[in-house]
Structure 1
Amino acid sequence: MINVILVDDHAILRDGLKTIISLESDMEVVGEATGGAGMEDLLKRKSPDVIVMDINMPEQNGIELTKFVKKEYPSVKVLILTMYKHDEYFMSALKEGADGYLLKDSPSEQVIDAIRTVHRGESIIHPAMTKKLISYHQQETHVKEDTALTEREKEVLVCLVEGLSNKEIAGRLYISDKTVKIHVSKIFKKLDVKSRSQVVIYAVQHKLVPLP
């Protein structure tokens, strides 16, 4: 069972999310909070697997709270669900370790799939935001050459940037899921990152993958 905490200061949105999550047999909402204080209390008492969190909230915003969660509860996954398409919010959220970034106009089934995706340790980024990420970093001039990635690891990295799951990567490269996990682990270590979203930022920023 995937234990989910909802952190948003809009009761209507929380109610809507709780309703659609309650229809799923493999997840449930174990707590709701309107901001940081309530979230911290729930983290201590409920041991959640995934936090679905807005950005714009009273006192502390979702980016600051993501930083706190990743520092104090690194195993907890954070899925940002927001109306903001601003580059600065998006980039800041990923840099602080957010495991996913969706917009509130996303279909309900996409939100449910995103919860499962981040729970598996994979990342999910709204397509519109992925384009922003690539556009933003096409203007960067710094190139990281000494990454020591093997050719196979580079192929896996391209797949990670495209947002493919381990199973999809295995299918594309004709290797086993276990081998994919090994490559992903080595890539994380070599690039000194902790999440797939951070891999995407690093790879695009340092031009480790072809850009359109």
Structure 2
Amino acid sequence: MINVVILDDHTMVLKGIETMLAACAGITVSNTFNNGKALLDYLLTETPDVLLLDINLPKNNGIELCGFITKTYPKIAIIGLSNYNDTSFIKNMMRNGAKGYLLKNTSKDELIEAIKTVYSGSSYLPKILKDKLLNESFGIQTLSFIPQLTRREQEILKCISEELTNNEIAEKLFISTKTVESHRKNLLQKFGVRNTAGLIKEAFTKGLLN
């Protein structure tokens, strides 16, 4: 029996995946979580076979969380879950130890195939994402993914491009420093980059900064 746990901050997604796997022989969903802390507390005493991990979490960077779990619990096979099919997200997840990557609109059959594949020790990517990575490696241009930003994220992105610190951004926009830090993390996740330099470069490339 393949023991699966799921981390996603959207209840509908959790319920949807649970429903798809409910009648699947050989796979059981032992627990679900909507935040990273609860999952990490659980892992102190339990070791699932497969973790379905949302990469866009409000209080945690899913990509960084993937790296931590992989190093701390190497026996857990992680599949990243995302609405984004940008190759930078896929590469960052795989670099941080994920064995697979699925879009949240995946089919039941593909979800089950992915779980069984990573459980067996292999990696899994849907064909559409494999093709996208292959095209990129040969320099074939595909439609560029443009992250959907909120008005606040757009404001903070502009402030970051002006080299303002978190404190300066907070003062300018009349919000707390913690809120700025949270938006920064979300921007890094949405663009699939690791640092501010990468964020600015991607934002210019995608035409979101002038």
- What TM-score, normalized by structure 1, do the two folds share? 0.62
Shift of 1:53: 1.2
Could you report, residue by residue, the CA deviation over 1:142-170 in whole angstroms, capped at 9, with x for unpaired residues?
xxxxxxxxxxxxxxxxxxxxxxxxxxxxx
Report the CA distance between 1:61 and its aligned residue. Answer: 2.4
Question: Displacement of 1:136 after TM fit?
Answer: 2.7
Task: Provide the secondary structure at the position in 2 that maps to 1:90.
Answer: helix
1:47 aligns with 2:47: yes
User: Partners of 1:113 and 1:16 in 2: how far apart?
Assistant: 17
CA drift at 1:119? 0.5
Q: Tell me what 1:5 maps to.
A: 5
- In the other structure, the counterpart of 1:88 is 88
Partner of residue 104, structure 1: 104
Aligned match of 2:138: 138
Q: Secondary structure of the residue that 2:25 maps to in structure 1?
A: coil
Structure-1 separation of matches of 2:29 and 2:46: 10
Secondary structure of the structure 2 residue equivalent to 1:124: coil
CA distance in 1, matches of 2:24, 2:108: 12
CA contact 1:117–1:123 (8 Å) conserved in 2: yes
**Who is 2:20 aligned against?**
20
Q: Report deviation, 1:48.
A: 0.4
Distance in 1 of aligned mates of 2:136 and 2:60: 26
User: Number of matched residues?
Assistant: 139
* Aligned residues with identical type, % of pairs: 34
TM-aligned CA deviation for residue 54 of structure 1:
1.2
Q: Tell me the SS of whatever aligns to 2:135.
A: helix
**1:57 counterpart residue number:** 57
Structure 1 residue 98, shift from structure 2 partner: 0.7
Report the CA distance between 1:45 and its aligned residue. Answer: 2.7
| Deviations 1:102-160, CA, capped at 9 Å, x for gaps | 11222111101111111000111022211222233335xxxxxxxxxxxxxxxxxxxxx
Q: Secondary structure at the match of 1:32?
A: strand
1:20 & 1:3 partners in 2: Cα distance? 15
Tell me the TM-score normalized by structure 2. Answer: 0.63
Instruction: List aligned pairs for 1:145-160, cutoff 5 A.
Output: none
User: 1: CA distance between counterparts of 2:49 and 2:134?
Assistant: 30
* Separation (CA, whole Å) in 2 of partners of 1:82 and 1:96: 15
Q: Which amino acid aligns with 1:108?
A: K
RMSD: 1.3
Q: Secondary structure at the match of 1:121?
A: coil
CA offsets 1:155-201 (integer angstroms, 9 cap, x no match): xxxxxxxxxxxxxxxxxxxxxxxxxxxxxxxxxxxxxxxxxxxxxxx
Q: Is contact 1:31–1:42 with CA below 8 Å preserved after alignment? A: no
The letter for the 1-side match of 2:67 is K
Find the aligned partners of 1:126 and 1:109 in 2 and give their Cα distance: 11
| CA shift digits 1:32-79 (9 cap, x unpaired) | 111210111121232100001111111212211110111100110001
The runs of 5 or more residues in structure 1 that have no matched partner are 140-212
Check whether the contact 1:55–1:80 (CA below 8 A) recurs between aligned residues.
yes
Q: How does 1:151-190 map to 2 (within 5 A)?
A: none
Query: Which secondary structure does the structure 2 equivalent of 1:125 belong to?
Result: coil
Q: CA deviation at 1:8?
A: 0.3
Residues of 2 paired with 1:59 and 1:83: CA distance?
Answer: 18
Higher Rg: 2
Q: Displaced runs of 4+ in structure 1, greater than 4 A?
A: none
